[in-house]
A and B are shown apart, each in its own frame.
Chain A
Amino acid sequence: DVKVTQSSRYLVKRTGEKVFLECVQDMDHENMFWYRQDPGLGLRLIYFSYDVKMKEKGDIPEGYSVSREKKERFSLILESASTNQTSMYLCASSFAGTGETNEKLFFGSGTQLSVL
């Protein structure tokens, strides 16, 4: 069964802390994505990666960075956490082949981050 695993379900951090959110997928997918989900705003794309050591900014990259040192792992980094980064963070991955399969994203269960 396909799996995208996010390391923490709930996380509480202090303002100014450096925060790492980890995501691992076991499907050998090339593409990985980080979204944040806020009530009334849906999901917004933060960063994505189509290959190891490759990253692209999404729609709201400010205050975030990412790391993809291995194909299966995609980390989201909050360099200096702020209260407006309190949110649900969702990781997703997808296959990069041609045809229909590359449009289906597999999501992790999410990390609810609270910044106090």
Chain B
Amino acid sequence: AQSVTQLDSHVSVSEGTPVLLRCNYSSSYSPSLFWYVQHPNKGLQLLLKYTSAATLVKGINGFEAEFKKSETSFHLTKPSAHMSDAAEYFCVVIGAAGTDKLIFGTGTRLQVFP
């Protein structure tokens, strides 16, 4: 069965420092992976997605993620955090090939300090 594990429930960084949010996946086939972001009192928004094209995926707001098959990882990074990045981030995998059924990780809350 497909699954994702987010390794940190909370991450705190200072503004201007790099962000790393970690995600490992488990999949019986080549997975489609996503990162979604949820700002307070807002709906979830797609940040980026990997669908077996380039292993380094660029998303919105300066975020990117690298698919590493050897490590079964899809970590989300940003070179320099901004206060507006404070939100909850979800790593997501397609639950079954050819469907829209998404399996969400448990989420990582990112805090950004001035």
Q: Is B32 an interface residue (CB 8 A)?
A: yes
Q: Please, could you name 28 A-B residue pairs with CB atoms under 8 Å apart, sorted by A?
A: A31-B100, A35-B104, A40-B106, A41-B106, A42-B90, A42-B105, A43-B44, A43-B90, A43-B104, A45-B95, A45-B101, A45-B102, A48-B100, A90-B43, A90-B44, A92-B44, A94-B100, A100-B49, A100-B51, A103-B32, A103-B51, A103-B94, A104-B49, A105-B44, A105-B46, A109-B41, A109-B43, A110-B43
**Partner-B contacts on A (CB < 8 A):** 4, 31, 33, 35, 40-45, 48, 58, 90, 92, 94, 96, 100, 102-110
What string of 1s and 0s marks CB contacts (under 8 Å) between B31-59 and chain A?
01010000001111110010100000000
A-B contact count (CB 8 A): 53
Given A48-B101, A102-B100, A103-B51: A42 and B43 interface contact (C-beta under 8 Å):
no
Number of B residues contacting the other chain (C-beta, 8 Å)?
A: 21
With a cutoff of 8 Å between Cβ atoms, the chain B residues found around residue A110 in the complex are 43
